[in-house]
């Protein structure tokens, strides 16, 4: 019994040693604090609701069965859109606040080191990586330079634009003198008329959806092909690196 058991024990020990050796090559850094992670996923849910309901507000369903007084479907769609918009706007304000009180990674969404030559060199490196021109990218604790650039222009500025145009349109229904009209009423004459704001608000929705599609693709691709975690980092807060 003993001679036959020894090879099995040796094999198991060998596997364990290999696993330990592999584990030593993995490093973990705490990057995203809990408020940032919670905001990220709530924000994702809000954008999903806003996109779906916003589409049907712009392209309503052709008809509903029965009497008009018995149907309130568009009312529910508009309510869901407005509720998600408030959560989205409040979340954006909270995220801006956390940029000041959180760690330095929390500020990457709102700042760009555009005067630093090394930053633009790293942006070019990441462009080569996404273009399949280099075998491996550099490793970054927070957002990589290209992602940081895309998040600033493709998400943050788009979000500010959508909030301003959305509340300007909402202010029309809330009537003159409401806080929405007082704070955002200037948007409509700036863009020409109400229909122009509707058009640009809808175009902004498609622009944000394009950015999100690219964002999800890049995150999953980096998890598979890169040497660092991306998707799981926004769940646990820890970014792991593999040699």
Q: Which domain holds residue 133?
A: 29-61+72-237
Tokens of 172: 């029309």
Domain assignment present for 111: yes
64-73, 114-123, 233-242, range with the lowest pLDDT = 64-73
Residue appearing with tokens 């980096």:
222
Encode burial over 49-77: b for 16+ CB neighbours within 10 A, e otherwise.
bbbebbbebeeeeeeeeeeeeeeeeeeeb
Domain assignment present for 186: yes
Give the closest residue to 80 by CA, choosing from 59, 50, 100.
Answer: 50
Domain assignment present for 103: yes
Domain assignment present for 180: yes
Q: Domain count of the chain? A: 1
User: Given phi > 0 = left and psi -120 to 50 = alpha, else beta, which region is 136?
Assistant: beta
CATH for 218? 1.20.950.20
pLDDT digit string (tens) for 133-145?
988 888 888 888 9
CA distances from 21 to 17, 68, 173, 243 (A): 6, 69, 64, 12
In this predicted structure, the answer to whether residue 8 has a pLDDT above a threshold of 50 is no
Domain assignment present for 12: no
Domain assignment present for 47: yes
In this predicted structure, the answer to whether residue 79 has a pLDDT above a threshold of 80 is yes
More confident residue, 68 or 134: 134
Share of the chain above pLDDT 90, in %: 64
In this predicted structure, the answer to whether residue 29 has a pLDDT above a threshold of 70 is yes
Helix (H) or strand (E) holding 148: helix 145-150
Radius of gyration (C-alpha) of the chain in whole angstroms: 24
Q: How far apart (Å, rounded) are the C-alpha atoms in residues 239 and 243?
A: 13
pLDDT digit string (tens) for 178-222?
999 999 999 999 999 999 999 999 999 999 999 999 999 999 988
Domain assignment present for 194: yes
pTM of the model: 0.84
In this predicted structure, the answer to whether residue 1 has a pLDDT above a threshold of 50 is no
Average pLDDT over the chain, rounded to an integer: 87
Domain assignment present for 41: yes
Return the ∠ at Cα 220 (arms to 206 and 36), rounded to 5°: 75
pLDDT band at residue 6 using 50, 70 and 90 as cut-offs: very low
pLDDT band at residue 70 using 50, 70 and 90 as cut-offs: confident
Tokens of 179: 């806080």
Which pLDDT belongs to residue 82? 97
């Amino acid at each position: 019994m003993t001679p036959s058991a020894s090879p099995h024990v040796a094999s198991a020990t060998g596997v364990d040693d290999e696993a330990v050796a592999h584990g030593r090559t993995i490093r973990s850094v705490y990057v995203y604090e809990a408020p940032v992670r919670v905001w990220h996923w709530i924000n994702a849910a809000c954008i999903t609701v806003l996109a779906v309901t916003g589409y049907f507000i712009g392209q309503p369903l052709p008809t509903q069965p029965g009497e008009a007084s018995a149907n309130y479907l568009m009312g529910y769609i508009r309510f869901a859109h407005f509720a998600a918009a408030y959560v989205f706007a409040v979340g954006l304000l909270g995220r801006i606040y956390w940029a000041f009180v959180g760690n330095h990674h929390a500020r990457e969404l709102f700042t760009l080191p555009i005067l630093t030559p090394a930053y633009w060199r790293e942006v070019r490196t990441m462009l080569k990586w996404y273009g399949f021109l280099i075998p491996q990218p550099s490793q970054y604790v927070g957002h990589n330079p290209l992602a940081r650039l895309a998040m600033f222009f493709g998400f943050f500025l788009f979000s500010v634009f959508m909030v301003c145009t959305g509340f300007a349109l909402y202010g029309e229904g809330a009537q003159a003198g409401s806080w929405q009209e007082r704070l955002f009423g200037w948007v409509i004459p700036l863009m020409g008329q109400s229909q122009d704001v509707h058009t640009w608000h809808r175009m902004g929705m498609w622009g944000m959806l394009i950015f999100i599609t690219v964002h999800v693709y890049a995150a999953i691709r980096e998890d598979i092909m890169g040497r660092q975690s991306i998707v799981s980092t926004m769940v646990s807060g820890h970014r792991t690196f593999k040699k």
